[in-house]
Homo-oligomer: A and B are copies of this chain.
């Protein structure tokens, strides 16, 4: 059950060790001025607080904690295990990872521990426990942050051995493995657990790192690796728990990051937190989707653990956030379910590869900067907003399935085209609802579909156990399911469902896909709707037959001209829409519009607008966040006429012209 913090946490990463004490004091003043009320500390301090196997050194950390406590900050305390001390590598080289190329890494960089190294585990657990023992009872430590941005992968011998144990537990017998991965193909039948080899470039993985000879094996390795790191998380969490009571324990996730099954992770986390780093050209709908995904992990409000107040350093082109952009981005985050707004970082580092990463206090060292002023303005606004928004919920009648197994499986698949990417497919459909200001929940494969009028399952390549039944029941009972090409193809081991595509979804969709054509990038096809209008499509074209479904659009060219491209099938009280090809934006919108009408799904406000309008519903009122993310001026919708903008305290009038990044926050009684 979600339990909000006592206030909107507003702050971020703080690592004052590089600076003399007078800077610390100065920082406290600046932060107070900016209404900053929280700090994340100790993220990469392992080497500092444990200089050797036997020694701990907490003096400096104590000082920081004391100072922050005295000033009544909410402290997010990290366990510092995101980067190992050098003495550990020197003494136990096996704590370093072996990469996809088969190379053992030495001391360097970060997020680099072999998750299955008993040595790493021993010391990580110990430091986490030490920290919890020391700071767990401090009431200002209101959140524990395990490690940092878990990710990557290891292919060392320890992992290989642990993988075999993981497999044994999952499959029981070696024959079951042979069958699951269809190892008879290419003569890979194994007779002993020890014959199973980690699928990197020296094994069954292909040189490019994205293909594999046996997707079943490689997907299981991803599952195992995600689980291995999750075990690392759980180990530290459990070491911390006894000392911290019900203080929430989290770790910072990374949106649509590929390598970890975040739905599985979130079950072990008290609260989800994540780091939001859009590029200069990331669509705002993509960021919105990422927030909705992070909220969807636990179907609850989340923490924004990191964002930059100005620019990043590690992207190819690290553009500045324009005036108002950071504010709008922060409020969009809150709009989509965040109860915290935290920056990386409060003070810009003087050296190391992130020294040009934005911060609240820059290298100039004072607060007379545009960035600071914008941080302060937002701080004041968040303070003015108060706490009643904490825990408010984002309601949605539309659910979009996001599934890491599908993510991995779809992108491992060899054929029919190499241009298919999972997240971009999902985003295409999400974007329609975003543009219409229709609320969306990003949901797991095993969600309770009955909560939604529409469930969208794009490229539902892998249909895992129970999904067929759940989706069937959903549609049977009146739900509207939208699915697409490359769906229903394989089971959870990446073996094809026989009997015709889309396998377990065949009856539900009322079609049979006989063949799948791949179009090269220079090739475009056209489809014609029954109303005579046309749109273009590309990438993949299903050649399908109606088996009960009605045809909404047909191909207008190629040898499969006149074959159905888009269909709708009534099933029980509901409908299944099937997209046999990758339509352009307009085509997608046209069909989803039909579904929305049929399902009677309502947007947040009835007026059409180019603005983003997103709602969070609190106990007594509903908050409407209105954003202009377009580079043109747009009028405030009429339903907000004469309302008070909670950010400024000003009354706004309908038709008020909003410039890019202008944001208005209005509450209405429920």
Contacts and interface: CB of A to CB of B under 8 A. Distances in A.
Given A186-B83, A415-B357, A498-B365, A203 B520 contact: no
B351 A495 contact: yes
Interface in A263-285: 280-281
Interface string A309-344: 011111111111011000000000000000000000
B313 A414 contact: yes
5 contacts: A80-B187, A107-B203, A185-B353, A313-B414, A322-B559
Contact of A515 (B206, B314, B320): B320
B323 A110 contact: no
Interface stretch (A165-173, A211-219, A448-456, A596-604): A211-219
Given A83-B186, A86-B190, A496 B319 contact: no
Nearest to A83: B187
Contact of A351 (B182, B322, B516): B182
Interface stretch (A41-49, A568-576, A614-622): A41-49
A493 B216 CA distance: 47
A319 B517 contact: yes
A11 interface: no
A63 interface: no
A77 B212 CA distance: 28
Given A108-B203, A350-B498, 19 more contacts: A51-B191, A83-B186, A86-B190, A90-B195, A106-B202, A109-B186, A110-B213, A182-B350, A185-B354, A211-B353, A280-B520, A314-B415, A315-B415, A348-B496, A351-B494, A356-B415, A364-B498, A364-B514, A370-B515
Contacts of A107: 188, 195, 197, 203-204
A363 B497 contact: yes
A258 interface: no
B314 A365 contact: no
Interface string A179-193: 001111111111110
A216 B195 CA distance: 40
Interface of A: 15, 17-18, 44-48, 51-52, 80, 82-87, 89-90, 101-110, 181-192, 194-197, 199, 201-206, 211-216, 280-281, 310-320, 322-323, 348-357, 362-365, 369-371, 413-419, 490, 493-501, 512, 514-521, 543, 559
Given A108-B205, A109-B204, A86 B349 contact: no
A211 B314 CA distance: 10
Given A318-B416, A318-B417, A319-B520, A48 B108 contact: no
A213 B108 contact: yes
A48 B187 contact: yes
B195 A364 contact: no
| Most chain B CB neighbours (cut-off 10 Å) among A188, A204, A315, A495 | A188
A349 B559 contact: no
A215 B90 CA distance: 22
| Most chain B CB neighbours (cut-off 10 Å) among A101, A103, A184, A498 | A184
Contacts of A323: 559
A281 B516 CA distance: 18
Contact of A194 (B90, B109, B187, B320): B90
Contacts of A214: 351-353
A496 B363 contact: yes
A507 to B, nearest CB: 14
Contact of A370 (B82, B87, B514): B514
A77 to B, nearest CB: 15
A455 to B, nearest CB: 25
A363 B501 contact: yes
Contacts of A15: 184-185
Contacts of A184: 15, 17-18, 44, 48
| Most chain B CB neighbours (cut-off 10 Å) among A104, A351, A515 | A351
A519 to B, nearest CB: 7
B317 A363 contact: no
B281 A520 contact: yes
A96 B592 CA distance: 53
